[in-house]
Chain A
Amino acid sequence: MIQRIAQEKPAEEEVAELERQVAKEVDQAIAFADAGTLEPVEDLTRFVYSDRSHV
C-alpha cells in the first residue's frame, strides 16, 4: 500500500478510508485513556529504572 502510494496517485476513496481507520484508532485510544484511572502518586518514581529486585 505504501509503495503504491509512493508510485501512484491513490484513489480519493482509498485515502479517505485510511483517514477513517486512523481516526477510529485515535478515538479508541482517547476513549481508553478517558476511561482509565490516574496512577497513584506513589508510583512517581516507578519505572525510572527497571525493577531488578528479582535478579
Chain B
Amino acid sequence: MTFREAIREAMRKALAADDRVFLMGEDVGRYGGCFAVSKGLLAEFGPERIRDTPLSESAFVGAGIGASLGGMRPIVEIMTSNFSLLALDQIMNNAATLLHMSGGQFNVPVVIRMATGGGRQLAAQHSHSLEGWYAHIPGIKVLTPATIEDGHGMLLTALQDPDPVLIFENALLYNMEGELPANAGPVEIDRARIRRPGRDITLITYAAGLWTSLAAAKKLAEKGIEAEVIDLRTLRPLDDRTLVESVSRTHRVLIVDESWRSGGISAEISARLMEQAFYELDAPVARLCGAEVPMPYAAHLERAALPQVETVIAAVERMMPAHG
C-alpha cells in the first residue's frame, strides 16, 4: 500500500462510518484529487459527500469551517500548502480562534489536509514547507505524518478531535510503499516516536526528512556513529518530553528540517531544548534546514536547497570531532 492509498483508505473508512464526514476541495471529486489521493471516492460516495469546490481557498475553507460549526465533520483538502495562504485568515482568525473567542461555546472540528514540500521541480510558488508557520498558532493542531501507519491513522484520529487539525502530507511521500496492518486504526497525535535508537547524537526531523535522516543514520553507523532518529509526527503540540529524554542520553542534537531556518520550527525546538536540557548538551543544537531561497526550479539547485543524506552526514560529522 502506498502513503497515498493509506490516506485514501482512512477517508473511505471515515466516510463509511460517519454520515457527518465529507470531503471538499479543488478537484477532489471528478479528477480524483490533484495527487490522486481521493481517486474513486466520488464513485463510491457520491457528490454530496465528495464535493468539488470552486478555485477559491478562502471561500471553501470558510465553508468547511462553517460546516464544522454546524455539526459536520468536513475534510477540507487544500491542493498545496502554498495555496493555503489564501485561506490563512479563515484558518487563523476563524478556525483557530472561535473556541477561545466564544468562551468554549463554538467548537470547530474541521480537518484540513494539504500537500507540502519541495523536491518535485515545481519551483518557488509550489514548493513551500509552511507547517512550521502554522505550528505558531494556538488553537490548532499540526500533524506531519511520515509513515504509512501515520498517514492512515492520524487522519482517523483527527476526525475525532473537537478542534481544528491541519495535516501536512509531504508530496514526496505519496508514492512511498509499505505495509498497513489489516487492523490499523487511529493513532496518537501528540507524541513523537524514536524511529531508530542511538547513543551518539539525536536527529530530530519529520515528514520526508525522516527518510533522509534514517538513510544518513545507516551510513553513519558504518562509520561508528550511532544516531538516534526521532520522527516528530506532530509540530503542534511538540512532544518536549521525548526530545529532552533523548538528548539527555545522546547530548548532541541535529534538527533536520526542509523549511527555512529563520524563525522556523527548528528554532522553536532549539529554544525548548536550551530551556529544558541545557546542561545535557555537549554542543550547541545544530540545524540543517532548507536554504534561505525561494525554491529553485532547476533540479540541481533544488537539490542543493534541501537537506540531503550527504549533508546530514556532513553536519553530524562536524558535531562529532572524535570521528571527523
Contacts and interface: CB of A to CB of B under 8 A. Distances in A.
B162 A47 contact: no
B161 to A, nearest CB: 8
Interface stretch (B100-108, B212-220, B227-235): B100-108
B100 A52 contact: no
A48 interface: yes
A49 interface: yes
Interface residues of A, number: 8
Contact of B139 (A39, A49, A51, A52): A49
Nearest to B109: A50
A22 B26 CA distance: 39
Nearest to B103: A47
Interface in B97-153: 99-100, 102-104, 107, 138-139
Contacts of B77: none
B99 A48 contact: yes
Interface string A13-55: 0000000000000000000000000010000001111111000
Contacts of B107: 50
How many B residues touch the partner, as a band? 10 to 19
A50 B99 CA distance: 8
A4 to B, nearest CB: 26
A7 B88 CA distance: 37
B9 to A, nearest CB: 25
Interface string B67-103: 0000000000000000000000000000000011011
Q: Which 10 pairs show the lowest CB-CB distances between chains A and B?
A: A50-B162, A47-B104, A47-B100, A48-B138, A47-B99, A49-B163, A50-B163, A48-B139, A48-B100, A47-B103
Interface of B: 99-100, 102-104, 107, 138-139, 162-163
20 contacts: A39-B103, A46-B100, A46-B104, A47-B100, A47-B102, A47-B103, A47-B104, A48-B99, A48-B100, A48-B138, A48-B139, A49-B99, A49-B139, A49-B163, A50-B99, A50-B107, A50-B162, A50-B163, A51-B104, A52-B162
